[in-house]
Chains A and B, each alone.
Chain A
């Protein structure tokens, strides 16, 4: 493949997730079929219909200095942990890049919910003078992007897309645009989320969006399966370093994969329900292919958004089927990680990149009886075991409450 000035490559990966405290541990646990889901045992959960969660495998306190952590919301702590791993992986500190040409784009779905709710407790119990002076910088949704910008010394711009569960993927799309428009030389992009707390849990449960398979935590997240009954809330962060291919080549950076296309659409249908035929999602995938200069036949694999909700998964199956056809291998990795909301698109992009690099497609756990839906039946959803195959291009799609649809296209290095 020839290299043009606007070709963009992936040179760094970082993550802390319910499957592991870094990328390698997470990826190996994914391929081994491990689950990050467990049942909450705290007292407050007993009246909740949905009691499952995918907690971080590694406590952030083990990875970040105590005094530094004090002034960072948990969503910021995990973003910084993932960003620093990605930056190390890319050799960012030794790249010689001008800090004025380094940009950061980190999305989050909810922002600093733990700080907001925790400080509200302080306010109620002790009054306004005992509210932490770090409350605002810890709860603002651009806080994770700002904390990451400080951590890597980025002065070329720090941005924070907020589009619910599409935020992480949207950040990657923004990063691609920044490089294509020559607004930066290196961009660190990603998503973060950490909102396991009684209120968000109650809110999602009230929407009837969460799995209530409380007695079988590891079997609860089951995208595309007939018996699926909702998602499992997860926490974590994932970050990716992007740069132009010519610059990466000039500095001898290792290239994991290429980011060749991206697109975003809006359903224009309902605030939370997906269009039943996945019309907006299909438009996003088709537009991303066009952006990449590829056709459906070029795509070998899709890492699906597939959250395990009854309506979401069939809408997405319809979208994949109508935009790409039946030849693609589909994986739904939330079956093992749970749903990381604003971090989901970034983490699943890392899985897509590693699948391309390693030429192995992850399995969809818990897919025992595929839904009777025609599109689900028609798709080749990988299950039981990861599948070794040869393919050169893959799609990661992400959707968010609000009707946001993002599709990203990656190819092998």
Chain B
């Protein structure tokens, strides 16, 4: 899957779970500081990402995913 497709898929998840407008889901955005995503919603997003992209996100890796770009990189590397 191309990085562009991953970006689109991730934006869909963020909109569904946390109400983030797709145009706002740009790589430099911090989940907590910019997009108002709290820790429980991050768990939900991680689950949705696992289902959608067929990746496994261990809890210690999830803790390192701070920005949309971090998530894109993780998915791209592990898909």
* Partner-B contacts on A (CB < 8 A): 65-67, 70-71, 129-130, 132-134, 137
The 8 A-B residue pairs whose C-beta atoms are closest, nearest first, are A67-B19, A133-B43, A133-B40, A133-B44, A134-B40, A130-B47, A67-B18, A132-B44
Interface CB pairs A-B, < 8 A, 18: A65-B19, A66-B19, A67-B17, A67-B18, A67-B19, A70-B17, A71-B40, A71-B41, A129-B47, A130-B47, A132-B44, A133-B40, A133-B41, A133-B43, A133-B44, A134-B40, A134-B44, A137-B40
Interface string of B13-26 (1 = CB under 8 A from A): 00001110000000
* A67 CB contacts on chain B under 8 angstroms: 17-19
| Distance from A346 Cβ to chain B, minimum over Cβ atoms (Å) | 29
* C-alpha spacing A224/B44, complex, angstroms: 50
The main secondary structure of chain A at its interface with chain B is helix
* C-alpha spacing A66/B15, complex, angstroms: 11
* A65 CB contacts on chain B under 8 angstroms: 19
* B41 CB contacts on chain A under 8 angstroms: 71, 133
| Distance from B30 Cβ to chain A, minimum over Cβ atoms (Å) | 19
* A132 CB contacts on chain B under 8 angstroms: 44
| Distance from B44 Cβ to chain A, minimum over Cβ atoms (Å) | 6
* Partner-A contacts on B (CB < 8 A): 17-19, 40-41, 43-44, 47
Q: Considering only CB atoms, which chain B residue lies closest to A132 in the complex?
A: B44
* C-alpha spacing A137/B38, complex, angstroms: 14
Task: Specify which of A130, A132, A133 lies most central, judged by the most chain B CB atoms within 10 Å of its CB.
Answer: A133
* C-alpha spacing A70/B19, complex, angstroms: 10
| Distance from A125 Cβ to chain B, minimum over Cβ atoms (Å) | 13
* A129 CB contacts on chain B under 8 angstroms: 47
| Distance from B13 Cβ to chain A, minimum over Cβ atoms (Å) | 13
| Distance from B45 Cβ to chain A, minimum over Cβ atoms (Å) | 10
In the complex, given contacts A133-B40, A133-B41, what are 10 additional A-B residue pairs having Cβ atoms less than 8 angstroms apart? Answer: A66-B19, A67-B19, A71-B40, A71-B41, A129-B47, A132-B44, A133-B43, A134-B40, A134-B44, A137-B40
Q: Considering only CB atoms, which chain A residue lies closest to B17 in the complex?
A: A70
* B47 CB contacts on chain A under 8 angstroms: 129-130
* C-alpha spacing A70/B18, complex, angstroms: 9
* B18 CB contacts on chain A under 8 angstroms: 67
* A71 CB contacts on chain B under 8 angstroms: 40-41
Q: Considering only CB atoms, which chain A residue lies closest to B47 in the complex?
A: A130
* C-alpha spacing A129/B41, complex, angstroms: 14
Q: Considering only CB atoms, which chain B residue lies closest to A131 in the complex?
A: B47
* C-alpha spacing A138/B41, complex, angstroms: 14
| Distance from A61 Cβ to chain B, minimum over Cβ atoms (Å) | 14
Q: Considering only CB atoms, which chain B residue lies closest to A68 in the complex?
A: B19
| Distance from B41 Cβ to chain A, minimum over Cβ atoms (Å) | 8
* C-alpha spacing A134/B38, complex, angstroms: 11
* B43 CB contacts on chain A under 8 angstroms: 133
| Distance from B16 Cβ to chain A, minimum over Cβ atoms (Å) | 9
| Distance from A157 Cβ to chain B, minimum over Cβ atoms (Å) | 24
Q: Considering only CB atoms, which chain A residue lies closest to B15 in the complex?
A: A67
| Distance from B21 Cβ to chain A, minimum over Cβ atoms (Å) | 11
* A66 CB contacts on chain B under 8 angstroms: 19
* C-alpha spacing A133/B40, complex, angstroms: 6
* C-alpha spacing A66/B44, complex, angstroms: 16
| Distance from A401 Cβ to chain B, minimum over Cβ atoms (Å) | 33
| Distance from A353 Cβ to chain B, minimum over Cβ atoms (Å) | 36
* A134 CB contacts on chain B under 8 angstroms: 40, 44
* A130 CB contacts on chain B under 8 angstroms: 47
* B19 CB contacts on chain A under 8 angstroms: 65-67
| Distance from B52 Cβ to chain A, minimum over Cβ atoms (Å) | 13
| Distance from B36 Cβ to chain A, minimum over Cβ atoms (Å) | 10
* C-alpha spacing A132/B43, complex, angstroms: 8
* C-alpha spacing A65/B9, complex, angstroms: 23
Q: Considering only CB atoms, which chain B residue lies closest to A66 in the complex?
A: B19
* C-alpha spacing A12/B43, complex, angstroms: 38
| Distance from B46 Cβ to chain A, minimum over Cβ atoms (Å) | 9
Q: Considering only CB atoms, which chain B residue lies closest to A136 in the complex?
A: B40
* C-alpha spacing A67/B18, complex, angstroms: 6
* A70 CB contacts on chain B under 8 angstroms: 17
* B40 CB contacts on chain A under 8 angstroms: 71, 133-134, 137
| Distance from B37 Cβ to chain A, minimum over Cβ atoms (Å) | 11
* C-alpha spacing A67/B35, complex, angstroms: 13
* C-alpha spacing A70/B40, complex, angstroms: 12
* C-alpha spacing A70/B37, complex, angstroms: 14
| Distance from A399 Cβ to chain B, minimum over Cβ atoms (Å) | 37
* C-alpha spacing A65/B19, complex, angstroms: 10
